[in-house]
Structure 1
Amino acid sequence: MLIFNTVIVKKYIKTILLTFILVGILFVSPSEAAEPTFSLYPDGGVVTNKNNGFTVDVMIDSAGEELVSARFVITYDPEYVQLKKAERNNALFAQWPEDETSIDNENGVIMLTGFSQSGTDTLYTTADEPDVMARLSFEVVKLGDTTLNWEYSGSDDNFKSVMLVDGSPPQNVLS
């Protein structure tokens, strides 16, 4: 009788173990692969003193991709805020083409592009944490609610936010 009980216990243990494994496989979501992104830091807030304005950092994360170029385009409501200063992080890219840079306080558009030549310059790759690509300082013109928006789309390709990897033609890895 003791042998029979041992076989039954082993059978139940195997069944319970198999059940836990199957449940674990079914209900554990697959990990999402990191994707290249731009973000703002801080990502929101309240201006308590209109005279002081505010500053935000444009963060870049290549998610392990080697970038030959990165361009961000941010739009804002110029009735509420005006860009006072845009400072770029010169350590990230070898060149910052003037013809791909725009600060337009009339229409509320900021565009900044960094570029490194493949085969000549070191291509940009995020190490552990996102890097500051630019620091934007704004003055508050009018009190009220307003938003800084990412301009990822549009009909003019020159005014789209992109992260390009080397290739012929270069491929945009920004989703």
Structure 2
Amino acid sequence: MKLKISFLQVLAMSLLLVVFSCGEKDEPRLSPIVGTWAYSSYNLDIAINGQPIVQFLQAIGASAQEAQEAANEIKDEFFSDEDFEGTELIFDANGNYEIRQNGTLDESGTYELLENDTKLRLTSSEDVTDFTVRQLTNNRLGISFTEEESDDFFGIGLPVLVKVELELNFVK
């Protein structure tokens, strides 16, 4: 049995190869972070010596109600919605970012998505800040920042380790 291939068959196969080889994979993938993101909400968690602040305050003698009220007051001293309202994050496809507050440029620099898009690094002329990416879709971005410090914050003669985690959520 002889295999006979005609010119038309070769042409058809060549066209199929060209069509399938020039698909989406040749086009650069645009990261879902590219675009303008508007602030939508935040969450603030505070832990003292590894315990949520309410539990810590109860452990040193506060009632459940007193501990919750004190924790709320402490959190309100850190941040409120008004601190973030009007904030926009703008990421371009070239790796540049801007942070705008009510339309006014607050910060700019470059950004990188690292570790399989789980870390966002912002580099400005003053600082390098790493955020954990909690959510990144075409229309939702959730990032968090954690800071720890040890000091005698309560004036009791013993240092305590305070861990503050701020999560910010944005929509496109």
TM-score (norm 1): 0.26
Structure having the higher helix fraction is: 2
TM-score (norm 2): 0.26
